[in-house]
Amino acid sequence: MAMRDLTTGDETKQLIDFALPMLFGNIFQQFYNMVDSFVVGRFVGTSALAAVGTSFPIIFFMLALILGVSMGSTVLISQFFGAKDWKKLDDVVATSYIFLFVAGLLMTIIGLAAAPIILKLLAVPEGIMPEATTYLRITFAGILAIFGYNGVAAMLRGMGDSKTPLYILITATLVNVVLDLLFVIVFHLGVAGVAWATIISQGLSFIGALIALNKRNPYLRLDVKKLHWDKYSFSHMLRIGLPTGLQQTLVSLGMMTLSRIVNEFGPQTMAAFTAASRIDSIAAMPAMNLGAAITTFTGQNIGAGKPERVKRGHLSAIAVNSGISLLMTLTILLFGRRLMGIFTNDPEVIGIGSSYLIIVGLFYVAFGIMFINNGVMRGAGDVFIPMINTVLALWLVRVPVALLFTRVFHMGSDGIWWSIPAGWMVGMIFSTWYYRTGKWKNVKGFKNSPINDAKAVS
């Protein structure tokens, strides 16, 4: 199993080589949602497409805190791997497995019980409630598999292996496509069919990842008999990962707030938001994966004591992001309406969604710079600044702007769409300013990384 050492070699080539498999993997993972949306939009109807879309922010909310905390293990794994400290690496991996299992069980119970309550809080129309509740409950029934796969993939990325998750995910995605078509078109299971297809596919991803690890990776192998809880590892996972988890939770709450505003405009706007968001998520993937790559890159080079290499990697990531983001913007401007037509034949839905894509697509460069800046800070252990940046961009800009534009200026759904890049611009400006101050070099994670902290992990 390929474990990539990111502490030597050309920075741009290292980042691209590491980010590309993650990018392809995440694109395939997005196909889970895209295929769900395509199948229900084309073969079930607009209300079903709205039901699937309104469920996504809730699922993301339930996942955000736990998977954010697991980001702490990714940073520690990358640092310990860079330092070649195998004992501490083993402690973090074992603790991560136990944490993900317990958290997954708790989220399953909470999700199954709270699904209809949350949907009501989001002002989901009564006509959509039954399908949305069904989709949510089936998804939460399989949340342990989703936790497991994402947790294992995060560990692999921390050690520089971004290809194994890609291979497993490609296979699972193909299975998901087949099951979607089978359950909906042949067995006529509707929204329940696409939910079951997704859970089965995620389960196969998790099982495949575990099999690959147990056969080929001595550092991440899951051996139940050797699992142990290391409180020092967990405390450092929390120190690094909890702010990221809180940040993701705040993002998900913001998504739910925006979703509630969208829901007030009715099923057509809900369906348009669902379809356009799927397209938008693919366009944003390169920037997000460069941000993830620079986090691991930063962590490994901090572990190896090479701070100047981190700076060069940051500039390389910004340059690559700018080129890709401009290409994505051009694609959206030229083909946005046709892309919307993949999901629905409803002209009103296509029109609303096309407007979303044009407004948001103009600002992908800003989105990418914000993500890359935050990635460097996370890898350096300066995890509170990305959280503050999220609060600023989302809760002090995006949500207030959405409310102002829709309820005061009466701009309709376009008011919601304009609030999204408004938040990105503020987030980019703030994160760039903080990066240029150089304060991220002085946090504990940089000067006193856990590899040099005698009390860190024992």
Backbone angles phi, psi at 85, to 5 degrees: -100, 90
Instruction: Say if residue 444's pLDDT is above 90.
Output: no
Instruction: Say if residue 429's pLDDT is above 80.
Output: yes
Examine residue 101 and state whether it is found in any structural domain, yes or no. yes
Which has more pLDDT, 400 or 443?
A: 400
Answer for the pair 447, 381: CB distance below 8 angstroms, yes or no: no
Tens of pLDDT, residues 198-218: 889 888 888 887 887 777 677
Tens of pLDDT, residues 340-388: 998 888 999 999 999 999 999 999 999 999 999 999 998 888 878 888 8
* pLDDT band of 453, cuts 50, 70, 90: very low
Instruction: Say if residue 449's pLDDT is above 80.
Output: no
* pLDDT band of 82, cuts 50, 70, 90: confident
Largest CA distance in the chain: 63
Answer for the pair 338, 350: CB distance below 8 angstroms, yes or no: no
CA 150 to chain centre: 10
* pLDDT band of 89, cuts 50, 70, 90: confident
Show the domain range for 355.
11-447
Examine residue 456 and state whether it is found in any structural domain, yes or no. no
d(CA 403, CA 333): 26
d(CA 322, CA 326): 6
Query: What's the mean pLDDT in 426-443?
Result: 88
Instruction: Say if residue 183's pLDDT is above 90.
Output: yes
Please return the burial class of 153, using the count of CB atoms within 10 Å of its CB with bins 0-12, 13-18 and 19+: buried
Answer for the pair 431, 369: CB distance below 8 angstroms, yes or no: yes
Smallest CA-to-CA distance from 155 within 227, 213, 242 is with 213
| Tokens standing for residue 161 | 């292996």
d(CA 380, CA 22): 21
Tens of pLDDT, residues 54-77: 888 888 887 777 777 777 887 788
Answer for the pair 174, 215: CB distance below 8 angstroms, yes or no: no
Examine residue 452 and state whether it is found in any structural domain, yes or no. no
- Side-chain half-sphere of 368: how many Cα atoms within 13 Å? 29
* pLDDT band of 443, cuts 50, 70, 90: low
Which has more pLDDT, 140 or 36?
A: 140
First to last CA, the chain: 27
- Taking each helix axis from N to C end, the angle separating 46-83 and 143-158, rounded to the nearest 10 degrees, works out to 40
Please report, as a single letter, which amino acid is at residue 111.
G
Answer for the pair 31, 175: CB distance below 8 angstroms, yes or no: no
3-state SS, the chain, equals: CCCCCCCCCCHHHHHHHHHHHHHHHHHHHHHHHHHHHHHHHHHCCHHHHHHHHHHHHHHHHHHHHHHHHHHHHHHHHHHHHHHCCHHHHHHHHHHHHHHHHHHHHHHHHHHHHHHHHHHHHCCCCCCCHHHHHHHHHHHHHCHHHHHHHHHHHHHHHHCCCCHHHHHHHHHHHHHHHHHHHHHHHHCCCHHHHHHHHHHHHHHHHHHHHHHHHHHHCCCCCCCHHHCCCCHHHHHHHHHHHHHHHHHHHHHHHHHHHHHHHHHCCCHHHHHHHHHHHHHHHHHHHHHHHHHHHHHHHHHHHHHCCCHHHHHHHHHHHHHHHHHHHHHHHHHHHHHHHHHHCCCCCCHHHHHHHHHHHHHHHCCHHHHHHHHHHHHHHHHCCCCHHHHHHHHHHHHHHHHHHHHHHHHHCCCCHHHHHHHHHHHHHHHHHHHHHHHHHCHHHHCHHHHCCHHHCCCCCC
Tens of pLDDT, residues 255-314: 889 889 999 999 999 999 989 998 998 888 899 999 989 988 988 887 788 888 999 999
Examine residue 263 and state whether it is found in any structural domain, yes or no. yes
d(CA 278, CA 183): 21
* pLDDT band of 445, cuts 50, 70, 90: very low
- Report the domain count for the chain: 1
Examine residue 20 and state whether it is found in any structural domain, yes or no. yes
Which has more pLDDT, 76 or 165?
A: 76
| Tokens standing for residue 79 | 């640092």
